Structure formats: structure tokens, C-alpha cells
Chains A and B, each alone.
Chain A
Amino acid sequence: MSAILQESGKKVLLMGNEAIARGAVEAGIQLIAAYPGTPASEVCEALIDAADDSDYYIEWSTNEKVAFEVAAGASIVGARAMTAMKNAGLNVAMDTYMTLPYGGVKGGMVIVVADDPNAHYSSTEQDTRFLAVYAELPCFEPMDQQEAKDMTRDAFEISEQLELPVFVRSVSRISHASGDVTLGPVQKKRNTVAFNKHYKLPYRWNVYGAPGAVSKHEWLKGVFPKARRIANKSRYNSLELVNGSKVGVISSGVAASYSREAVSRLGIEDRVSFLKLGIVYPLPDELLGRLLIGLDALIVVEEGDPVVEQLVRSYAKENACGVRIFGKSYNQIFKPFGEINTDIVSKAIAGVMDITIPDDPRESVRKKVSEIVAPRSSTLCAGCSHLGSYWALKKALKAHQGVHIINGDIGCYEQGGYGLFASKTDVNDKNSKKYPVLSPYEILDTIYVMGSGIGLAQGQAQVGYKGGKVVAVAGDSTFIHATLPALVNAVYQKADITFLIFDNRWTAMTGHQVNPNTGLDTLGRKARVFDIAGVVKSMGVESVSTADAYNLEEAENEISNALAFEGPSVVILKGECMLQVLRRAKKKKTETWVDEETCTGCRQCIQLGCPAVTFNKEKKKAGIDEINCTDCGLCEQVCPYSAIKVGGKHK
């Protein structure tokens, strides 16, 4: 049985995202729509695992905006609905997200956004709590997995009470960490699905409907005091006053966990008053007022940007509190970037309170010992089809002079911009100069966000860049998610660019979710396969071809033709994600081997970037890591001396 459907009352270990999913189940969720994004994907995944034994509708949508709208639609007709996304996902959903609060919702609607301080899996560290404030939505911030579950459940109630979507802001350290969670009862009752055009307000679901958008904004402003009352009374906001204390700590979300540990580690429980925040917007002003009385110093501890801090500062200023406030903006005791932890919080609080923390005498030993710790670089997987696509692209580009611009995008293939080992070995290795094909890990020149590559390419070409070829690459999921309007634009404006679609059938990087190109639906049933080539042709692209990413000659030829074409050209490079292939057909004994008598040690195979190709420095010979090798045949095609062979090894 699914972990999130275990019986009520049981104490179990749940990952934060599973806890959020369980909270939704306890609330009697009726619809979930999401697009994958680390660290948020497991919210939807856990609910997919539980779907067979539940009665909600669930889908992987084509992007976050669509997912948001699907959830909003369900809520407008009264159902309890949820969407979950990573930080950047909210940027995609932004337009609808900002407008839906004008008039709000009917069925409880919960928006889960998992931020990623320290950018472990993201392009930025953006703090989406700003966007909760921006859209004027109540914002929950769980401190642990138990709260993640409880808050999600309660968020549906509050959403219905206020008739507004409620925002649950998680972070990697909540979503991707696990903790003990005591499960609550599952609500059996489901909201009735019905439509009322003038539900409590005229033209409720039409911002332009009379008397217009400003009156809907006024309605939204009217909800705020009610939300503030909820925040002041919520069990997720708790004030622990210490008599006569001169120092206060305000801490929200996961940072409250760190702060609690720091206070106990420093042994100052009896010297500081503590306001733990679980609802950060609206700020519980009554609790804050009671905390501030008589304080000399206030320390604001939060994960991300100084969102709570700014709200607290404006409150303190308005109420003429003489308290000195420490945080991430003024009186900086925390770096305003990167993430925090208990060690950092302990140091910061100790600094304000003049407490000395003794240094670990082992620090110098650590430095010394660290020298022998070999790095473990990140690579594409052994046998990944993207290795073939990049190789073919590099070879095809060699026929053209100049500085080519390769615009990357987001997916496993973004590793083409990570810059890795092979480039380093290249510099000192005279042999490899003979084959100046650079590592695939250096090939991408721009990477920002999903779908951005093709628009950037068009701008470069349109302004007259003639220094070399202009190329954009994107995966199949990214193609569907965010490149379609940009490609239409490139055709319309006659941009001279080449767009490569790396079609591996899956949304691989985020954990192999399905997409319209997979041939399976969200619950694993057969589905229609999206016709990428047909869509591209129908957009008016005149040069469209398809090639096998594992056939380097074919792939190079098709890319060469596309590069030579004037105007927008598209090559679809097909090769299913190797991990999926291996999942279906178990790996057999590796048959790829290096004939050491033929191998000249030229290292061209190393330049392929496959982690299963090895090199013995002493012997100056290539080798194959048999545990990792998938017999994909790419290195065999790459070797200029036919020293690498698949099959036919004589004993």
C-alpha cells in the first residue's frame, strides 16, 4: 500500500513531499495537477502512487501555468484542488496566479511551491514568499514534515473560509527531508461540484465582469483582516515569552527548526523570547507586538530572502519600537544568499549575544585531510542519448568557421554547460589536441530557464550575429512546456537558427515523469504520442528532419544539413533515455571492449564524455567500465582507430 494511505493515528516516516500529499488526502482532495520540478515532484508522485486506492483526478500537466489553471478551474466549480511546483514553476504560472485572487475561489485551493535555497537543483535561489505577499495570499511555511502535512490539510479549510487560494511554501530541506509524522483522519466527504456564475459576488469568475477589476481588488483587500485574525490565532504561530528577556528570536519555517536547536545548543532557553512563525503572511501582528515589548535586540531567522524581516521592520517602525533588528538586510548577521543551518544560526545568535563558541581544534587536520579526497564529478549517464547528440553537433559545427553560439536549455542535457573534467585534462594533454573536439560538458554557451534557449538564439541571429552558427537545444518535455511560442516567432520572423530537439521520450532529469511524448498517461496507461515533427512542420518550419542519436553519422549529416539551411531549421534527435531502456530490459553482460593493441591512447573516446569510458594513465590505453557500460555503441563509432568494439571479444 502507498505510504501516504496508512491508517490514521500511526506515526510513520514521511518525506516532506509525501507529508504534503498526505495532508491533501486527509483534506479530501479532488484534483491534483502539476508539472515536475525538483524538489517538488514527489508531492504529485506520492499521490499518483496512491491514486488506484483513491477517488481524485490527477495529472502531470504540460507546464505549471496549465497545471495552475486546471486546479483553479476545479476550485471554481467547488472542488478541493491542489497544484505543486518548484520555485521557477511559479514564474511560469505567474499571469493566472496574480489574477485568480481577484475574486478568489470556491473549493479549497492550495498552491504548493518548493523553493530551493542554495540552488541545489535550480537556476536561482528565488524566495517565492515575496510572490505570496505580491498576490496577497496567506502563506504557510512548515518547520518540519508533521507541519507540512497538517498545514496542507488546514490550508484547504482556510482557503474555503477566506475563499482565496492558500500558499504553502516549502524548501528543499523540508520537501526532500523525512521526519516522523503522526497521521490524521482522512475526510470522506467530498465537495459538491457545481457552477454558479454569480457566486456571492456578481460575475464572480470574470475579473472584467461588472463592476470590474478594481472592485474585485477591493474584495481581495477585504479578506486581509480576516486572514490576519487567523494568523494571530493559528497554532502554527507560537509565542514563548521569557520573563525579562532582552533578546527575541523570530523564526519561520525550516529556519525555526534550526533556531530551536541553536538556542538549546547555546543553552540560552531562559534568556530569549521566541516567536515561531508557521503563517508568515499576514504576519500575526498581535503576537509580534507582545514579543517586542521591552526587547533590546530582535533576531530574525528565515530561509531565503528577508521577507519576514522586512515585514517585521515596517511593523516595528510604525509602532516606534526602539528594538535593534538583526537579520539579512540591515545589521546583517546572515549572508543574504546561500542557505542556513543550525551551525550558522548558532554563530549568528552567539554573535549578537556576545557568546563565544570554541573553534573545533580539528580544523587544520580537516584542511590537510581534504587534500586526498578525490572529486566525484557529475556527468551524463553512461550510454545517454544526449552524448550522441552533442557529439554529432560538435562534429557538424567543425565544418563551419567562427564562434558558434549554442543556447542550452533545462534538462539532463544542461550538463552540457557544467564544465567538467575532460576540459581540464585537455589542457595538459598534447595527444588530445590532435582531435580538438571539446568535452560535451563545455558545449553550451547560455543556460537560463526552460524554453529560453530558442528565443535567445533568435535575438542573436536577428541582430545580425555573423560570427558563427546560432543553435538552440531543448528536450522533448521542455519543447512542449515552453518553446512553442518562441518557435512560431522564429518562423514568423525568418530567423536563421538551428533548433535541436533532444527527444528521449521522458521528462528525465526530474525523475522520469511522463509527458505527451512518452506514450503513457499519468497513471501509466497507453496514451497518444505527441507528434513533434508534425507540430514543427505545421508551424511552418521548412527544414525538419529526424535522426537516431545513436547513429552518429546520420545525426551529424542531418545537423549539417540543418546548419547549411538558411532560415529556421529543426532536427529531432531520437534516443530513449537509457535508464528507462535498462529499467525494462535488464542489463546484460557488457560486450564492449578495447583492443589495447590497436588503441593509440589518443583519448578521443574520453572526449565523448561517457562515464563508462576509462583511461589508464600508466598504460596510456582506454578502457571500459563494465559495470556502467550499456553497449550503446557510441564510443565504438567515435574511436578513429576502431580499437573499441562491441562484441566479438576473443578469450
Chain B
Amino acid sequence: MSIDIIVAGVGGQGSILASHIIAEAAILADSGSRKNGKKAVNVRVGETFGAAMRGGAVASHVRIGDDVYGPLVGKGQADMVLALEPLEGLRIGVQYIADGGIAILNREGFAPVDVKIGAARYPSIEQITKALERLGASPVVFDATSLAIEAGTAKAMNVVMLGAASASGVLPFDESIMLEAVKNRVPKKFLDVNVEAFRLGKEVYAGSKPGMSQQGKKQNA
């Protein structure tokens, strides 16, 4: 059994940190559960490289499971795509999302230089979600950047997304553990802001999917 997640975004948005927080949470959860005699899980984080190196597309693969060895998610196997930037969510979704997978997208786009100089067109958010639906995925879109600003800083957008991810029910551990991993990894100065960002992300996800509201209510913050 394995859970495969890809965090997609552009350089500087904190997608690598977000992926490491998910992975660390998986290790924390495993260390906790092994005391009850369960089989150890392996955790891997890998990256995919676009043509871009800098200011470019970043995708970080997180794999959790007792039969996980390699760092990359197989084609069409991602249970979740967590997109800090919608175009990157689509770029990764096309290749990797599983039939029936969940795509959580931050609404705020970050135009590539190709679009900025008029050489390419940025797809509308509707086009992006439609495309993901055609691939058999369930997209959820919300404005994580605004929520992060509401929490105290736009920089916490990645943690808002982690809040949403932990409310989705896809992750194999409790959201309190994810929050613990968030607290371990963010700068102490911004602890409260990030805890709030996490909470806002959780709530908005719960609100966007009525079926998930039960999960959203379990508050550990």
C-alpha cells in the first residue's frame, strides 16, 4: 500500500518545503504507530525537473508506504496533486494524476515568461479544472494566497495548502501530526501565522466539499 502525492508550483513558493513537511509527518506518524507493532513505512521525496531551472516549474513527489522504494510517482498514479500554482497543477496533473485522484489548486496564477511576453496563452482556471476532470480527477480550487495573507503573510500559502491537504482524507495520518510537522519546520517567528494558515486551509477545504466537513471539524490547532 502506498500513497503518492505531488506538490507542484514555481520556484520560491515553498513547494519543496511543503513536500518535506508531508514526508516528515509520515515519519512522525510511523514512529508513533510502530510502538503498537505495525510494519514500518518508507518515505521518499523526489523531484521532477522541467526545462526550467530557475524561476521555473517545481514538482516534488512524496511517497509513503511499506512497499515504497524509489523517489518518483509512477505515471498516472498520484492520489493527490497539491498545486500551489494552477498551471503547474495542470502540467503535473496531465502526466501523473490517478483516475479518481484529488487535485487541490491555489487559484492564484503565476504567468510564465512565455505568457508575459505574449508568446503563449495562460489557460483559464475553468479550462484547467475541466481538463483535470476529463482525466478523471476531482479538482478543488480556492484562493490560498488570500487566506495566507489573512493569516499574516502571503508566504504561508504553502501551509494553507497543507491544511487543505490534511482535510482531504487522502493522507494516511491524522491532521494533528501534519500540524506538528508544520511547527517543526517553519521559522519560530512565524509559528502562529502558520498555525492559523493551516487552520484556514483546513476549513476552506472542508467547506468546499460538504462530504469532507466531518474531517474539517476535527480541530487540533
Stretch at the interface among A29-37, A421-429, A468-476: A421-429
Contact residues in B for A611 (Cβ distance below 8 Å): 55, 113, 116
Task: Say yes or no: B123 contacts A421, CB within 8 Å.
Answer: no
Contact residues in A for B68 (Cβ distance below 8 Å): 261
With known contacts A374-B112, A374-B121, A173–B42 Cβ distance under 8 A: no
A143 to B49, CA, bound (A): 20
Whether A169 sits at the interface, judged by CB under 8 Å, is no
A4 to chain B, nearest CB (A): 15
- Who on chain B is nearest to A614 by CB? B116
Whether A545 sits at the interface, judged by CB under 8 Å, is no
Whether A617 sits at the interface, judged by CB under 8 Å, is yes
Whether B99 sits at the interface, judged by CB under 8 Å, is yes
Task: Say yes or no: B123 contacts A615, CB within 8 Å.
Answer: no
Whether B170 sits at the interface, judged by CB under 8 Å, is no
A425 to B119, CA, bound (A): 6
With known contacts A180-B27, A342-B70, A421-B114, A373–B56 Cβ distance under 8 A: no
With known contacts A178-B20, A179-B43, A424-B119, A254–B113 Cβ distance under 8 A: no
Give residues of chain B (44-71) contacting chain A, Cβ–Cβ below 8 Å: 44-47, 49-57, 67-71
Whether B134 sits at the interface, judged by CB under 8 Å, is yes
- Who on chain A is nearest to B97 by CB? A362
Chain A interface extent, by class = 35 or more
User: Which of B27, B75, B117 touches A422 (beta carbons < 8 Å)?
Assistant: B117
Per-residue CB contact flags for chain A residues 175-198 toward chain B (1 = under 8 Å, else 0) read 011111000000000000000000
User: Which of A180, A264, A341, A368 touches B67 (beta carbons < 8 Å)?
Assistant: A264
Task: Say yes or no: A13 contacts B27, CB within 8 Å.
Answer: yes
Question: What is the number of contacts between chain A and chain B, taking CB atoms within 8 Å?
Answer: 164
- Who on chain A is nearest to B131 by CB? A369
Stretch at the interface among B88-96, B157-165, B203-211, B212-220: B88-96
Contact residues in A for B175 (Cβ distance below 8 Å): none
A256 to B75, CA, bound (A): 19
With known contacts A12-B27, A13-B27, A362–B71 Cβ distance under 8 A: no
Whether A366 sits at the interface, judged by CB under 8 Å, is yes
Whether A170 sits at the interface, judged by CB under 8 Å, is no
A421 to B46, CA, bound (A): 29
Task: Say yes or no: B113 contacts A261, CB within 8 Å.
Answer: no
Task: Say yes or no: A144 contacts B114, CB within 8 Å.
Answer: no
B59 to chain A, nearest CB (A): 11
Contact residues in A for B200 (Cβ distance below 8 Å): none
Which B residues are closer than 8 A to A by beta carbons? 10, 20, 23-24, 27, 30-31, 42-47, 49-57, 67-72, 74-76, 87-88, 90-91, 94-95, 99, 112-123, 127-128, 131, 134-136
Apart from A173-B70, A376-B87, A376-B114, 17 more pairs, CB < 8 Å: A144-B42, A144-B69, A180-B23, A254-B71, A256-B69, A264-B67, A342-B70, A360-B76, A362-B99, A362-B135, A375-B114, A376-B88, A378-B52, A378-B54, A613-B117, A615-B118, A628-B55
Q: What are 24 of the A-B contact pairs (CB < 8 Å)?
A: A13-B45, A143-B69, A144-B42, A173-B70, A173-B71, A180-B30, A180-B43, A257-B69, A258-B70, A261-B67, A261-B68, A342-B72, A343-B74, A343-B75, A369-B134, A372-B90, A373-B91, A373-B94, A376-B113, A377-B113, A379-B55, A421-B113, A421-B114, A606-B117
Which A residues are closer than 8 A to B by beta carbons? 11-13, 120-121, 143-144, 173, 176-180, 254, 256-258, 260-261, 264, 341-343, 360, 362, 365-366, 368-370, 372-382, 412, 421-422, 424-425, 606, 611, 613-617, 625, 628
